[in-house]
């Protein structure tokens, strides 16, 4: 994790919808910091600066630093409420963490070597079934992303969750629920070009007619 992100915030005492609306009119986003064996803390942070941070994919899967009235805390982003029609953030939830805390987080999947995959070179089309995956690990081992290497994929191949190479100490949440095979969903597949199967069947039919 070579990037670092810092959120500047101030504490707020007044709660409720009316208070939140006033904060938003002032260009601030209301939020809460919780966990870590401490009482929840109500905060507000500048909206425009938060939007800049949210443009970075890594912001969503990093340990962040939030400074509340100048005092720093280590947190992760647990929830973000956006306006359904406008580019506004309405609220954010931050969870306090220490390196040894076990946390669940969604991290993005990065697909590599797609263009060089034999199946793609043969005309196949890659179908991405997942774009991120929920993991559990110690906060200090939180990866920025999980890499999915497609370099060896042939036509018809599928990479499943159980085939992903995970950093040490990282588990996929779906595979910790009972029957692993039941939850071992596909991540990416390479499908044959449309019409390929039909063309082959047609060729076989023509050959049969010629033989007759």
DSSP line for 88-121? -EEEEEEEE--TT-EEEEEEEEEEESTTT-HHHH
Domain with CATH 2.40.240.10 in the chain: 6-97
- Residues in a beta bridge with 106: 134
Fold designation for 103-197: RNA Polymerase Alpha Subunit; Chain A, domain 2 (2.170.120)
Is pLDDT at 211 greater than 60 in this prediction?
no
Q: How far apart are CA 164 and CA 150, in angstroms?
A: 11
Mean pLDDT of 69-90: 94
- Per-residue confidence (pLDDT) for residue 202, from 0 to 100: 47
Which of left, alpha, beta for 16 (phi over 0: left; psi -120 to 50: alpha)?
A: left
12, 43 Cβ separation under 8 angstroms: yes
- Per-residue confidence (pLDDT) for residue 18, from 0 to 100: 74
- State if pTM tops 0.85: no
Degrees to nearest 5, angle at CA 168 with 115 and 143: 60
CATH of domain 6-97: 2.40.240.10
Q: In the 8-state DSSP scheme, what is residue 124?
A: -
- Per-residue confidence (pLDDT) for residue 197, from 0 to 100: 53
Q: How far apart are CA 64 and CA 60, in angstroms?
A: 9
Mean pLDDT of 66-79: 95
- Per-residue confidence (pLDDT) for residue 5, from 0 to 100: 96
- Closest among 68, 66, 90, 63 to 79, alpha carbons compared: 90
Length of the chain: 212
Element (H, E) at 23: helix 17-25
| Range of weakest confidence among 47-61, 79-93, 101-115, 177-191 | 177-191
- Per-residue confidence (pLDDT) for residue 64, from 0 to 100: 96
Q: How far apart are CA 96 and CA 33, in angstroms?
A: 7
Domain with CATH 2.170.120.20 in the chain: 103-197
């Amino acid at each position: 994790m070579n990037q670092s992100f810092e959120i500047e915030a101030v504490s707020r005492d007044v709660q409720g919808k009316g208070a939140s609306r006033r904060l938003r009119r002032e260009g601030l986003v209301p939020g809460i910091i919780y966990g870590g064996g401490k009482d929840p803390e109500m905060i507000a942070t500048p909206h425009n600066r938060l939007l800049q941070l949210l443009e970075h994919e890594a912001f969503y899967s990093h340990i962040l630093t939030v400074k509340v009235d100048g005092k720093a805390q280590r947190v992760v982003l647990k929830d973000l409420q956006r306006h359904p029609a406008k580019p506004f953030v309405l609220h954010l939830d931050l969870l306090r963490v220490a390196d040894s805390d076990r946390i669940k987080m969604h991290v993005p999947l990065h697909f590599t070597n797609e263009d060089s995959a034999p199946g793609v070179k043969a005309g196949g089309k890659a179908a991405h079934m997942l774009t991120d995956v929920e993991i559990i690990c110690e906060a200090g081992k939180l990866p920025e992303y999980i890499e999915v290497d497609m370099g060896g994929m042939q036509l018809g191949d599928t990479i499943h969750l159980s085939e992903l190479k995970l950093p040490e100490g990282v588990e996929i949440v779906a595979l910790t629920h009972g029957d692993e095979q039941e939850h071992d969903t596909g991540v990416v597949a390479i499908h044959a070009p449309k019409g390929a199967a039909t063309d082959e069947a047609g060729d076989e039919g023509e050959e049969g007619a010629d033989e007759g």
